Every structure is written in structure tokens, then in C-alpha cells.
Amino acid sequence: MSFASLASFLALLQSPLPSVKQLADYDMKLSVAAQVDCVSRADFVKTEAWFDQNEQSAQRDHADFFDRTAAIKTALFNINKMSDKVRGSITYRRRTQ
């Protein structure tokens, strides 16, 4: 098991495993957001994923807002990104298995 796989698993430990349909839907959404098979960090974070609802942080009274879902997606992007440079920004290239 690679470091990226283990770290991704730990980041999503609270979320249920996705179904095959959910993974296919997510892959399609990332494909739509992709530019030349790459997805920017901003597009990766704003693309809806199967774990968004489960990982959302509850807003408490008298507390600063913390976007847990965006933080997890940013961590996942940083863990799994390839070092390609497109238009001056680091991008995430979808892994093909």
C-alpha cells in the first residue's frame, strides 16, 4: 500500500465507502472540471463528492466557521497530486488503474 492510499484512507475514515455508481459519478464530475486531463486544486475542492455531506462540519453558536469538507479535499489533492505544471499551477491528474 502506498503512502498516498493510506493517507487518503485515513482522511476519509469517517465516510462510508462509495458505491461503484458514486465513484463513476465522481469521475465524470472531475472529467467535466478537468482541463486536458488535469483538475486544478480549486476545481477539485469545489467538485461535489460522495463524502461531502458526511464530512461537513456542524456550525456551532459562537464558533468560527470551519469548512471541513474543503480542508479534507485540499489534503486529498495535496496527497494525490502529480507534479505536472499546467498554466503555472500544480494540478491533480486522475490516476488510471
pLDDT tens digits, one per residue of 30-40: 888 877 777 88
Give the integer Cα–Cα distance in Å for 87 and 82.
Answer: 15
| pLDDT above 90 (res 19) | yes
Say what the pTM is. Answer: 0.75
Average per-residue pLDDT for the chain: 80
More confident site: 63 or 30: 30
DSSP for 14-26? TSPPPPHHHHHHH
